[in-house]
Amino acid sequence: MMFYAVFVQPESPGNIGSLARVMKNFDMEKLVLVDPCEITEETYKLAVHAKDVIESAIIVNTFEEALDLLDFSVGTTSVYGGKHSVYRISITPEEMAKNVSKKGNIGIVIGRESSGLTNEELLCCDVLVTIPASEKYPVLNAALAAGIIFYEIYKPKRKSTGKLSKLEKDLLIEDFNKIVDIVEKRDYKNRIAKLIFNRIIGRSFITSRESHTLKGIFRNILKRLD
């Protein structure tokens, strides 16, 4: 599986550089420019460490040529059509990232800064994505919108920080409960303290390493209390 960023008729040299930079942030290196404006020094300046993305960009004259490079295309639109417009029925970036095919060349198609993709271009895409945003101003900058979508694609690659197992959680709560039983003899206060700690641990998503540190402190407290 290979992801491409397809920028259709970019109007600003700087926005090409900004897109290249955000691509680099999320390990995306394949950039396709459709009938672009001139690439200038500003492009490279805003790309920062992503100059190689620009230098290796594929430049084509038409949208159809760009689609020929892809096995699956994801069009982007700021207008969610719903039942009112079949042209713009779309899903969220998260839904797209979870369900997109794991094979072939997949293109994230970004439209013009001023007007986005046309209805005809959207019809050529296999699926459409809309980023939920304020109804007062739902149009995002091209690079920002791309970054949100790229993040959802990249997110599964991020290494786990070591999620707390049920056994570790139970042992941590067990030590806390022992401390409460020693320092709080009133039944009501005792039950509330245990309940609150249980809920804090349940919603905090602490890591195994953090749990190990807390457990060591609780054990030292129990030794002192004994």
In this prediction the pTM is: 0.75
Q: What is the mean pLDDT of each run of 10 residues along the chain (226 residues)?
A: 95 97 95 97 96 97 97 89 64 89 88 93 92 89 95 80 78 94 94 92 82 93 90
* Residue where a domain stops, chosen among 104, 126, 157: 157
Residues 119 and 214 placed together within one structural domain of the fold: no
Residue 204 sits in the same domain as residue 177: yes
- The reply to whether 131 and 183 lie within a common domain is no
Query: First-to-last CA distance in the chain?
Result: 59
Q: How far apart are CA 112 and CA 110, in angstroms?
A: 7
Looking at residue 174, its pLDDT comes to: 94
Q: Do 145 and 180 fall within a single domain?
A: no
Does residue 112 sit in the same domain as residue 43? yes
Q: Could you say which of 157, 174, 192 is where a domain stops?
A: 157
> Do 200 and 146 lie in a common domain?
no
CATH code, domain with 148: 3.40.1280.10
Burial of 69-98, coded b for 16+ CB within 10 Å and e otherwise, reads ebeebbbbbbbbbeeeeebbbbbbbbebbe
Of 109, 138, 157, the position where a domain reaches its end is: 157
User: Do 127 and 180 sit in the same domain of this protein?
Assistant: no
Whether residue 73 is found in the same domain as residue 129? yes
From CA 75, how far away is CA 85, in angstroms rounded? 15
105 and 178 together in one domain: no
Classify strands 58-60 and 105-110 as parallel, antiparallel or unpaired.
unpaired
Q: Give residue 182's domain range.
A: 166-225
- pLDDT computed for residue 92 by the predictor: 92
Specify whether the CB–CB gap between 7 and 33 falls below 8 A.
yes
Total domains in the fold of the chain = 2
